[in-house]
Structure 1
């Protein structure tokens, strides 16, 4: 039980070290920014599709 907990703690520690190194080097922050841009673009695309659908529905009823 103790050795498995220690193994998990060491694994989490190495992940944290990796993330800190990535953050310090700027790569992680760059990936976070890219992900945020993609999420915003996806949201804008979905909103445009909905707007197009509403306009087409309104146009077809006229």
Structure 2
């Protein structure tokens, strides 16, 4: 499954969604990001998945 993020510029600052979306979900949320006051250059971009290994320590 491919994952996507939404990027945009907010009042001159580059921003990126903190969550990743499926293509369909990103397309659904795109208008919400475009409607934000001060938002411009709103795009859907592919987000590589980074797997993080959890290391638990026993108490």
Q: TM-score range by the shorter chain?
A: under 0.3
Larger radius of gyration: 1
TM-score under structure 1 length normalisation: 0.23
TM-score under structure 2 length normalisation: 0.23
In terms of fraction of residues, the more helix-rich structure is 1
Which structure has the higher relative contact order (CA within 8 Å, separation 6+)?
Answer: 2
In terms of fraction of residues, the more strand-rich structure is 2
